[in-house]
Structure 1
């Protein structure tokens, strides 16, 4: 598997949901994009952080350890959620990496699925803002408008006001 480039193939930039990580050069399918770095902490501490702070950057390694990815030097913290992600997380030797699920073009935002637990707790209550969900809601609204217009037209045609 290709290693992380010493020259990062991405930049931090403005995203639909705040700041995001964007490819600056082509990234091949299967390439390791970025390591999720931070302080290694025990899971009891991780639970306390999640329950008592606004820190949403804790990544569980196993039943004993987690990574607190909140430091700004953790570039992977800028990878936003998508319901159709172009990278996936994988663990190797007590480290977390994101690798490309398919070829990523320059300018594309690097996106990962945060997982069902995170989605249900933090994203679902406010509505997912990823392109997949935003476009689906847009199509659903448009279909509902067209259906309502057809109903109005049918009533008008039948002489019912």
Structure 2
């Protein structure tokens, strides 16, 4: 049986939901996509992307996984300020692990902590506004709001 399914999310567009019970610490998904340079990814995003919406995941070696190219369902993980999953980098790959037990039908969340090149003015903050409604929500998916 599949671990997760993608469907409409009340938080933002599509989301990833547990299809069966998931144990705390369980590896659920690998974030897949084309591995490229930040320069290429940003250029592509400016040309083809949507403001406030990204499938880019930075790696410690300075490259990025572009989930919009050959990505899988992990690209639909939404942000929450109190996430139930975490990302772990292992040998140039990103894996999603649960932080606690998750029930079937529950949406999976990670904390984005996005870094942007431009100053975070009011317009930029609005593009990256958080919609998680968690207790203690930072109102932003940006790292500088953490």
User: What is the 5 A alignment of 1:58-97?
Assistant: 58-71=56-69, 73-97=71-95
Of 14, 22, 38 in structure 2, the residue corresponding to residue 19 of structure 1 is: 14
What is the alpha-carbon distance in structure 1 between the residues aligned to residue 138 and residue 85 of structure 2?
21
Q: Measure how far apart 1:13 and its partner are.
A: 1.1
Residue of structure 2 equivalent to 1:39: 34
1:117 is paired with a residue whose SS is coil
Which of the pair is proportionally richer in helix? 1
User: What is the 5 A alignment of 1:146-157?
Assistant: none
Of 94, 102, 105 in structure 2, the residue corresponding to residue 104 of structure 1 is: 102
Report runs of 4+ in structure 1 exceeding 3 Å deviation.
50-53, 120-124, 133-137
Based on CA coordinates, which of the two structures has the bigger radius of gyration? 1
Q: How many residues align?
A: 130
Moved more, 87-96 or 62-71: 62-71
Contact 1:128–1:134 (CA under 8 A) maintained in structure 2: no
Contact 2:84–2:99 (CA under 8 A) maintained in structure 1: yes
Q: TM-score, normalised by structure 1?
A: 0.69
What is the alpha-carbon distance in structure 1 between the residues aligned to residue 60 and residue 77 of structure 2?
21
In structure 2, runs of 5+ residues without a counterpart are 140-146
What's the Cα RMSD here?
2.8
Q: Measure how far apart 1:123 and its partner are.
A: 7.8
Q: Which has the higher contact order (CA 8 A, sep 6+)?
A: 2
